[in-house]
Amino acid sequence: MSGPVFVFDAHLDLSMNALEWNRDLRWSLEKIRRREAGMTDKVDRMNNTVCFPEMRRGQVGLCVATQIGRHSPYFHRLTGWSSPEQAWAQTQGQLAWYREMEQVGELVQIRSRDQLDRHLKLWEKSPSSDDGTSSRVNSRKSMQNLPIGYILSLEGADSIVTLKHLERSYEHGLRALGPAHYGPGRYANGTDSDGGLSVAGKELLLEMQQLGIILDVTHLCDETFWDALDSFDGPLWASHQNCRTLAPWNRQFADDQIRAVIERGGVLGMAFDAIMMVPGWIHRRSKPADFQLKIERICEHIDHVCQIAGNANHVGIGTDLDGGYGNEQTPLDLDSIADLQTLPGLLQRRGYPSQDIEGIMSRNFIDFLRRTWK
């Protein structure tokens, strides 16, 4: 394949980085890193991989961008907000940041099929780099003026105080929702926890179905996953979910779960968090060099999903980059989100045709949205 490939990243925690990490994503990667020199409040300081200039350089013109606010009641082992109302307020602050980025032309919210198609045409009209130096310069200048499209998602439903709050969120553009994150939640049980949906969780899924909100089954523990599929008849995907066969841990999906997502017409986004890519990673102790981890490892996860599906139509990209970690926990050859452009060549060498590569990099998720947003 010649030239960069358009990328749809199905999971980026942009507002969390802006408000909790205090990163101005309009800055260059280097400028953010210089500002964070000497900071020790977060383990990934100076290791950031995502900012708007790098997204544009890597042709990441469309993404699913999250809101997140966990409720952590008394004696809860995970950090979060002391009440659902506080968690809701946190997500509304994140929404306000997205709106400000829209005002200054960095982002544009995508809520419908018409808006999706208009945004894709905008990026298609921008010249991609070719053999001419002047063309490459003009391409960069053109891309600097393009807004990045984002589809609003909620990671963990703890902040949905009542179903009326869900309706308000839909009016604000919420189009996908994952009921749980890590541990037990108000509506569902997530990674490293057990149990099914609560009664309130089943009511939440029913309201989501009526509104047309996509169910993101990422992070659901096994029992909740199957409970959710039995309780929800609407569209679903797994925005950032790798394969348990290749990286054993309940955070990843077993083969029967992958198959169930495929049978429901869903797409699974491959995440670039090292802990989800290789077996035996020890949190906060292991390093990518211990495994000689490279981007090519994600091709094995892609291959595995394709083998289960019998085609390449149900796998995409959901990097989760800067999702509470940085390049201290990514492949050695991934310093920036722009390095996703390495992937098409790796897939091509494995025998994937151009059509399948374009599907994996963006079109599979785009086609899913076109089917969903009739």
Per-residue pLDDT of the chain (374 residues; tens, 9 = 90+): 668 999 999 999 999 999 999 999 999 999 999 999 999 999 999 999 999 999 999 999 999 999 999 999 988 888 999 999 999 999 999 999 999 999 999 999 999 999 999 999 999 987 654 444 444 444 555 567 899 999 999 999 999 999 999 999 999 999 999 999 999 999 999 999 999 999 999 999 999 999 999 999 999 999 999 999 999 999 999 999 999 999 999 999 999 999 999 999 999 999 999 999 999 999 989 999 999 999 999 999 999 999 999 999 999 999 999 999 999 999 999 999 999 999 999 999 999 999 999 999 999 999 999 999 98
Structure confidence at residue 33 (pLDDT): 98
* Structure confidence by residue, pLDDT tens digits, 97-119: 999 999 999 999 999 999 999 99
* pLDDT for the residue numbered 142: 58
Residue 374 to residues 41, 45, 260, 368: CA-CA distances in angstroms?
45, 42, 23, 11
CA distance 76 to 297: 35
Domains of the chain, residue spans: 7-372
CB distance 238 to 217 below 8 Å: yes
Best CA proximity match to 240, nearest among 251, 226, 224: 251
The phi, psi pair for 91, rounded to 5°, reads -65, -30
* CATH number of the structural domain 7-372: 3.20.20.140
CA nearest 123: which of 28, 12, 2, 7? Answer: 7
Give the pLDDT of residue 132. 43
Q: What is the pLDDT of residue 143?
A: 66
Please report the pLDDT score of residue 127 as a whole number: 60
How confident is the model at residue 75, as a pLDDT? 83
Looking at beta carbons, which pairs linking 297-300 to residues 24 or more positions away fall under 8 Å?
A: 297/331, 298/242, 298/270, 298/272, 298/331, 298/343, 299/343, 299/346, 299/347, 299/350, 300/246
Closest to 258 measured CA to CA, from 237, 278, 277, 276: 237
How far are the Cα atoms of 72, 93, 184, 211 from residue 78, in angstroms, in the given order?
A: 7, 21, 10, 31
3-class state of residue 323 by DSSP: coil
